[in-house]
Amino acid sequence: MSPSTKKSTVRTAAVALLSVTALAGCGSQGPGDAQANLQLPKQSKDDSGILPEPAKSSTSTTATPTATPSSSTKAPQRASRHQASDSITTREVKQTRVVHYDTRRVETNDLAKGSTKVSRGGENGTQVVTIRQTLVRGDVVRTKVVDTTTTDKATDRIVLVGTKEAAPQPAPRRSAPTPTPTPTPDEPSGDSSSGLDMRRASMWDRIAECESGGNWSINSGNGYYGGLQFDLQTWRGAGGGDFASRPDLASRGEQITVANRVYDERGLQPWGCRDAA
C-alpha cells in the first residue's frame, strides 16, 4: 500500500469514529456541543507520517430511565363526597296530640222553636301518635305516621234545639174606659169655699177601702195614718199640716185634698193599693 493510500484510510477511520461518538452524545448535549465534538483535534504526525488513532471518549452517556407506574400498584382513590356525607338514618318518635270534641245539635219538642240549650259540655281527648322520621345528615326529610293510639276519648258537646211551635196568642181584650167619677153634691169637684179638693173622691174611697178598710181615723201604730195610710213625711210635705198634725186627726175631705196634691205630682205610685183605683 502506498503512503498516500494508507494516509487516506486512516483519515476515513478517524472521521467515522468521531461521527459515532457525536451521535452517542446527542441525547445529553446541545447542538453546540455536537458541533464542537465534530471538530477534529489537531494531531501531530509521528515520524512515519501516520496520524495516531484518536483516543476514545471516556464520557459515556447513560439514559435516565423514565419511571412508569407499575401496573400492580394502584394510587389510592379519594372517597366520594356523597359517600362520605350522605348518611341516611331512621328513627321513631311519639307525640301526644289533642283530639278536639265535636258539637252535636239535637232537636227537641220540649223547647220553643228557635231556642237552644246546652245539654252537655264537650271535653277534649288525647291520643299518642308514633311517627317514623327519615334523616339525611341529621336533617328530617320525611315523616310518616305508623301508629295511633287513643288514650282519652273526646266527649261531644250536645246542644238542644227547640222545635215546639208557640201557642197562638189571644187577641188583647179592650178594656172599657174608666168612667170619670161624677162628684156628688156634697163633694165639689174643685176648691170649695171650705178650701177642700174633692176630685176623684170615689177613687180615693176604693183605695181607702183597700188600705184601711175604709176607716179614715185609724191609727194602728205602724207609722201610717188615716184612711189612705199616709206616713207623716208625705202628709206634711203635701201641706197636710194645714189641716191636722196627723192624717188620722183630719177629716175625710181633708185627707182626699192632700191625696189629690200628691197625685198631681206623683200619681198613684205611693199607694200599695193603687190597683183598686
Q: What is the pLDDT of residue 156?
A: 92
Residue 98 above 50 pLDDT?
yes
- Identify the CA nearest to 204 among candidates 229, 224, 170, 223: 229
Q: What is the pLDDT of residue 206?
A: 95
Q: CA–CA separation, 196 vs 256, rounded Å?
A: 8
Q: Where are the alpha helices (DSSP H) in the chain?
A: 3-24, 31-38, 81-85, 201-212, 232-237, 252-266
Q: What is the pLDDT of residue 2?
A: 52
Pairing verdict, β 125-136 and 139-152: antiparallel
Task: Provide mean pLDDT across the span 79-106.
Answer: 78
The percent of residues above 90 in pLDDT, for the chain, comes to 41
Q: What is the pLDDT of residue 84?
A: 43
Task: Provide mean pLDDT across the span 124-147.
Answer: 92
Task: Provide mean pLDDT across the span 26-41.
Answer: 45
Per DSSP, the three-state class of 24 is helix
The pTM (predicted TM-score) of the whole model is: 0.34
Q: Which residue has the higher pLDDT, 168 or 179?
A: 168
Q: Average pLDDT over the chain, rounded to whole?
A: 75
Q: Which residue has the higher pLDDT, 51 or 224?
A: 224
